Chains A and B, each alone.
Chain A
Amino acid sequence: MTRNKSRSLLTGFGVFWGLFMLLFMLGGGNGFKAMMMKNFEGFATNTAILVADRTTKPYKGFQDGRGWSLETGDIERLRRMVPQLDVVTPSLSIWSSSAVREEYSYSDAVVKGIGAEYRQVEEPVLKYGRYLNEMDILQERKVCVIGRRVYDELFPEGGDPCGKYIRAGAIYYQVVGVDFSASNISVNGNSQDAVLIPFPVAQKIYHRGNRIDLICVTGRPGVTLSTLETRIREVIAENHFFDPTDKPALFIIDTEQLFSMVDTLFTGINLLIWLVGLGTILAGAIGVSNIMLVTVKERTIEIGIRRAIGATPRDILSQIMMESVALTSAAGVLGIMFTVACLAVLEKSNPGMPFQIGFWSAILALVLVALLGVVTGLAPATRAMAIKPVDAMRDE
């Protein structure tokens, strides 16, 4: 084995590369998943969002294709009639508003009218001040909480903006808080671009009457939102005269389903990683086995000599097995070391993301590879055992 260094090296490379692929992809997959999940950060996992759409079924004398809107009254109805719901809170957005302060302006702002409970749906990361509260809503105060990008554009000098006024549309609002959430999720406008104002204020200023864009609901702990969907449809449909079985009329996105979709996706990716990784390792192992077979053939004389001077077949078996296990294990250790190094680099460039493989997974991988070495050595070893001591004399 040590005689033929380059060949051993090339042979081991198959196993090395297979293990590297498997572990690297597993680690990378984990990190990628964590990065993906970061996008959902601060968003309640058992949230559903209700949006009104055109009806598709005629109902109670109304034709299909009729438009309707969610209204303020629906909030109270849901609270009363579906007690399993924890938070029921409205949201209405005014897109492409420009927010202005002194000479600074930000034209991509979204003015969002929300209730105080909205913080339980999209959790804010308050850098300055406070969130909108019940009093703001009840007294319809002209106050706002601004998102990260709005703050960066309007207050380039930094510092606490609370108490200062900004203008959105035609109205001035007093800033009461800054939300630094970096979440990429967007419920009718991303929180980084948002100018959050009390929803009754938004309804009045933008002539929405009692209409709202959407209602966000969260379930009480232990409640699965998908089981409440039918009930929610009944409650809303009754108020707006559409068929409760008319699913397109009331669009409901359930984040639980969203999360489970992402989860399924990653389970699939993981499965694929295992399949490809194990396949590569197997191909490498077969390569090792093959080369060992050739080597045994080449070493007929050596093995014959060993047999002639007293090696039992078992001695020969264990010798070949040991070589095979040593070769695959060495390649395995190198593979793991290389993987750990590569993942460390990845982790360094993506701080806070768990790319690295666990210590015990590495140990498990090593044990697996050693076992693989035994299997690999089987064929060459049986071939070597069949060599008779006479062959040493014959093959001169």
Chain B
Amino acid sequence: MLIDLKDINKTYNNGQPLHVLKGITLGIEAGEFVSIMGASGSGKSTLLNILGILDNYDTGEYWLDGTLIKNLSERQGADYRNRMIGFIFQSFNLISFKTAVENVELPLFYQGVSRRKRHAMAMEYLDRLGLKDWASHYPNEMSGGQKQRVAIARALITHPRIILADEPTGALDSKTSVEVMDLLAQLNREEKVTMIIVTHDPTVASKTRRTIRIKDGIIEE
């Protein structure tokens, strides 16, 4: 089991305590292609944040590839995110003053990979995603689909075990959405990367092989 959640609870304490996750138990095997669906406010983004070690949880256990993810230092957290997990965001979250290739290089920079090597790797990944000619363009010179593909390249470059995508097609038109989903499916097939996609779009969910529905902080599969 690559991801093993046991009775995860999470409460936000912003003035009024808000119990968002009410005992989530979930297992995801390596190589799965999973979607997490739910209405807004259902807790799916919180779940994704916990899976991505971006946020911590109150009670329960989260085992990631045999390691208990709990009370990690900032350093360890950063290290796990860097090596184990790739992120794809709804709004792409590319750094606007860096070119496509520089954006893709960034995770390797934090791994301490030499400039020449990380540039070569980033170019290779851009090439695979058909963006070689756009390598030296800035994000605001690219279309949404292109930006999302740059973001996918950035997520892939560290060879992560898991890719977490938060509404990856949320800002794209339907045609590009299909392209991006096909790309993700292809990567899942060919690279054996575990894909976890959070969405509220049924057509996106239908592309995945397993759908986890979440409602009011409880899983109803």
Which residues of A does B touch, CB under 8 Å? 2-3, 301-302, 305-315, 388-390, 392-393, 396
Contact of A301 with B158 in the complex, beta carbons under 8 Å:
no
Contact of A388 with B54 in the complex, beta carbons under 8 Å:
yes
Contact of A393 with B79 in the complex, beta carbons under 8 Å:
no
Type the 1/0 row for B58-85, where 1 means its CB is closer than 8 Å to any CB of A. Answer: 0000000000000000110011011100
Binds A, one of B21-29, B105-113, B128-136: B105-113
Q: Which of B131-190 contact A (CB under 8 A)?
A: 154, 158, 166
B42 at the interface (CB under 8 A from A): no
**Minimum Cβ distance to chain A for residue B81 (Å):** 5
Identify which of A2, A312, A388, A393 contacts B110 (C-beta below 8 A).
Answer: A312
Contact of B93 with A310 in the complex, beta carbons under 8 Å:
no
Q: How far is the CA of A390 from the CA of B46 in the complex (A)?
A: 10
Contact of B89 with A310 in the complex, beta carbons under 8 Å:
no
Interface residues on B, range: 20 to 34
Q: How far is the CA of A301 from the CA of B95 in the complex (A)?
A: 9
Which residues of B does A touch, CB under 8 Å? 45, 49, 52, 54-55, 74-75, 78-79, 81-83, 87, 89-91, 93-97, 106-107, 110-111, 154, 158, 166
**5 A-B contacts (beta carbon < 8 Å):** A3-B96, A309-B82, A310-B79, A312-B110, A392-B89
Contact of B52 with A308 in the complex, beta carbons under 8 Å:
yes
**Minimum Cβ distance to chain B for residue A278 (Å):** 34
B contact residues around A389 at 8 Å (CB): 54, 81
Q: Closest chain B residue to A312 by CB distance?
A: B78
Q: Closest chain B residue to A307 by CB distance?
A: B78
Contact of A309 with B54 in the complex, beta carbons under 8 Å:
no
Q: How far is the CA of A313 from the CA of B79 in the complex (A)?
A: 11
Q: How far is the CA of A310 from the CA of B158 in the complex (A)?
A: 10
**Minimum Cβ distance to chain B for residue A7 (Å):** 14
Q: How far is the CA of A315 from the CA of B111 in the complex (A)?
A: 11
**Minimum Cβ distance to chain A for residue B220 (Å):** 24
Extra 20 A-B pairs, beta carbons < 8 Å, given A2-B97, A309-B107, A311-B110? A3-B97, A305-B93, A306-B110, A308-B52, A308-B93, A309-B106, A309-B154, A310-B78, A310-B83, A310-B110, A312-B75, A312-B78, A313-B75, A388-B54, A389-B54, A389-B81, A390-B49, A390-B55, A392-B93, A393-B49
Q: How far is the CA of A201 from the CA of B83 in the complex (A)?
A: 104
A contact residues around B154 at 8 Å (CB): 309
Contact of B81 with A308 in the complex, beta carbons under 8 Å:
yes
Q: How far is the CA of A311 from the CA of B110 in the complex (A)?
A: 6
B contact residues around A311 at 8 Å (CB): 78, 110
- Please give me the 5 A-B residue pairs with the lowest Cβ-Cβ distance, nearest first: A310-B82, A312-B78, A310-B110, A389-B54, A309-B107
Q: Closest chain B residue to A314 by CB distance?
A: B75
Contact of B45 with A310 in the complex, beta carbons under 8 Å:
no
Q: Closest chain B residue to A302 by CB distance?
A: B95
Given A308-B87, A309-B107, answer yes or no on A390-B54 (Cβ-Cβ < 8 Å): yes
